[in-house]
Structure 1
Amino acid sequence: MDVGGKPAPKTRKTSWKKDPAAVKEDILEVATIAFAAHGLSGANINEIAAKTETSKRMIYYYFGDKEGLYCQVLERVYASLRSSEDKLNVAGLDPVAALRRLVHATFDAHSNAPHFIRLVMIENIHNADYLRKSEIVPQLNRSIIVKLEEVCARGKAAGQFREGANALQLHWLISAFSFYNVSNKATFSASFGGALFGRPAQEQLKAQVADMVLAAVVIGYDPVAWGADQSD
């Protein structure tokens, strides 16, 4: 507040001239929330600009247009999810333990990334038209397949995994369980109640998902996570 008792003018959070990377990241962060909530058509560039304390002109300077901003938001959320998986070192683990850890990590990563889930759902409405334009996302997604291929190869060599164990199929299975847990939370809860979404029940579901994936590829695997209490 100034000496005249009037509020001091609001200053920008960051200066595009002094720190353009910070401004760009701020725009992407706000745009992620906007696109996840309203989709590509519903998100408003003027509202995004106001919340980032920048300008529509500056957003277009960095991203070209609204679709360019949306594409970079997609790349950013994919990069964030893959980064959490890449940090997981399973090379020194027994193949069965390594696969279990990868399942648990993917389940948790999806649970912690609701914006990613919503944006993927929105992009599927667009038939992945914008994702196909990205040269970055296929490279990002390759990393988890490579990690699963390595685990499968070690499991087969040790005589623990079935010869038909396939990294891409495993990724599909793991992603399907993990994605549905977040994407359909609202409708599932409305239909059947929210008992499965409390912390104890989520931990139990995560263990059961790992059991189902392991049972599909590990020779003689005996599931251990079934039958426990699933209440909140």
Structure 2
Amino acid sequence: MKRNATVNESKEARPAKRDPEGVRRDILSVAMEEFSQNGLSGARIDEIAARTRTSKRMIYYYFGDKEGLYQHVLEEAYGKVRGGESNLELDGLDPVAALGKLCRFTFDHHRRNPAFIRMVMIENIHHGRHMQLSRTIRALNQQAIEALEAVLTRGQDSGVFRLGVDPLELHWQISALSFFNVSNAATFSFIFGDGLFTADGQDTLSRHVADMVLRYVLQPEHMGAIAKDGQ
């Protein structure tokens, strides 16, 4: 009886087996924080292992090595923003509403995910070397251009958007306006104050970014669509 009790206690004390996909997600989430805060060279696999209650061996089993983990984090970060764009269901909206919604989403995603912006900045320091090794990132971002092109084409076909707007250039403009808001927040707020970085200030900037982009693509006679659509 005593022996059976000991066996039962041993079973109860044994930790539950963790879901492999859950472990992988946890590692990527913590690694995003570690890499975005400390860069590729400064990030510590020991720290990631400790915070996820795994081991370096387990991390290397899933991702190969430190640079492999870093590349997977980049892919995960881009997958999240592109997945969010896909969920906007822009095809069901008129072109003005669709473009305005895309602009607002991009701005709001970036301000709520500063780790993503820092990861992009870090990868630029490395001259995009790890991105070049990833087929996933290129494919994900090509989908973003194609989705924007579809919105532009619908607007041009209906006579609302002017002709000659390049979707890649427009994507650059939306990204630039949204990126600067996060990448330069510390220096900008130190020099000019933090009024633009309050909740109200950020909401105003988000609306105005959408306004600027729409004014760039709309035919002059359709500028009233901005106020009508509530952008």
Instruction: Report TM bin, short chain.
Output: 0.7 to 0.9
Q: Does 1:31 align with 2:31?
A: yes
More helix by share: 2
- For structure 2, list consecutive stretches of 5 or more residues without a partner in the other structure: 1-12
Deviation at 1:27, TM superposition (A): 1.1
Q: Distance in 1 between matches of 2:14 and 2:157?
A: 61
**Secondary structure of the corresponding residue to residue 105 of structure 1:** helix
Deviation at 1:119, TM superposition (A): 0.3
Larger radius of gyration: 2
2:42 aligns with 42
Q: Distance in 2 between matches of 1:107 and 1:125?
A: 23
| Greater alpha carbon shift after TM alignment, 63-72 vs 93-102 | 93-102
Q: Distance in 1 between matches of 2:90 and 2:56?
A: 45
Q: Does 1:130 align with 2:124?
A: no
Amino acid at match of 1:177: L
Q: For the Cα contact (< 8 Å) 1:36–1:119, is it kept in 2?
A: yes
Q: For the Cα contact (< 8 Å) 2:96–2:225, is it kept in 1?
A: no
Q: Distance in 1 between matches of 2:226 and 2:187?
A: 29
Amino acid at match of 1:31: A
1:200–1:224 CA distance, 2 compared to 1 (3 A) = farther
Once the two structures are superposed, residues 94-137 of structure 1 have per-residue CA deviations (whole angstroms, 9 ceiling, x without a partner) of 21121111111111111111110000000000000001111111
Once the two structures are superposed, residues 76-102 of structure 1 have per-residue CA deviations (whole angstroms, 9 ceiling, x without a partner) of 111111111110012122211211111
Relative to the length of structure 1, the TM-score reads 0.87
Q: Distance in 2 between matches of 1:85 and 1:153?
A: 18
**Secondary structure of the corresponding residue to residue 91 of structure 1:** helix
Q: Distance in 2 between matches of 1:67 and 1:154?
A: 42
Q: For the Cα contact (< 8 Å) 2:96–2:226, is it kept in 1?
A: no
Q: Distance in 2 between matches of 1:11 and 1:117?
A: 41
Q: Distance in 1 between matches of 2:130 and 2:14?
A: 35
Which consecutive aligned stretches of 4+ in structure 1 deviate over 3 angstroms post-superposition?
222-225
**Secondary structure of the corresponding residue to residue 136 of structure 1:** helix
Once the two structures are superposed, residues 140-187 of structure 1 have per-residue CA deviations (whole angstroms, 9 ceiling, x without a partner) of 112221211111111111111111112111110000000111111111
Amino acid at match of 2:154: R
Q: Distance in 2 between matches of 1:55 and 1:98?
A: 45
Q: For the Cα contact (< 8 Å) 1:71–1:134, is it kept in 2?
A: yes
Q: Does 1:99 align with 2:99?
A: yes
Deviation at 1:224, TM superposition (A): 6.6
1:116 aligns with 116
**Secondary structure of the corresponding residue to residue 159 of structure 1:** coil
Q: For the Cα contact (< 8 Å) 1:212–1:223, is it kept in 2?
A: no
2:208 aligns with 208
Q: How does 1:121-160 map to 2 (within 5 A)?
A: 121-160=121-160
Amino acid at match of 1:176: A
**Secondary structure of the corresponding residue to residue 144 of structure 1:** helix
| Greater alpha carbon shift after TM alignment, 154-163 vs 89-98 | 89-98
Q: Which gives a bigger RCO, structure 1 or 2 (Cα 8 Å, sep 6+)?
A: 2
Tell me the percent identity.
Answer: 53
**Secondary structure of the corresponding residue to residue 81 of structure 1:** helix
Q: Distance in 2 between matches of 1:224 and 1:104?
A: 13
Relative to the length of structure 2, the TM-score reads 0.87
The count of corresponding residues between Structure 1 and Structure 2 is: 213
Q: Distance in 1 between matches of 2:66 and 2:176?
A: 30
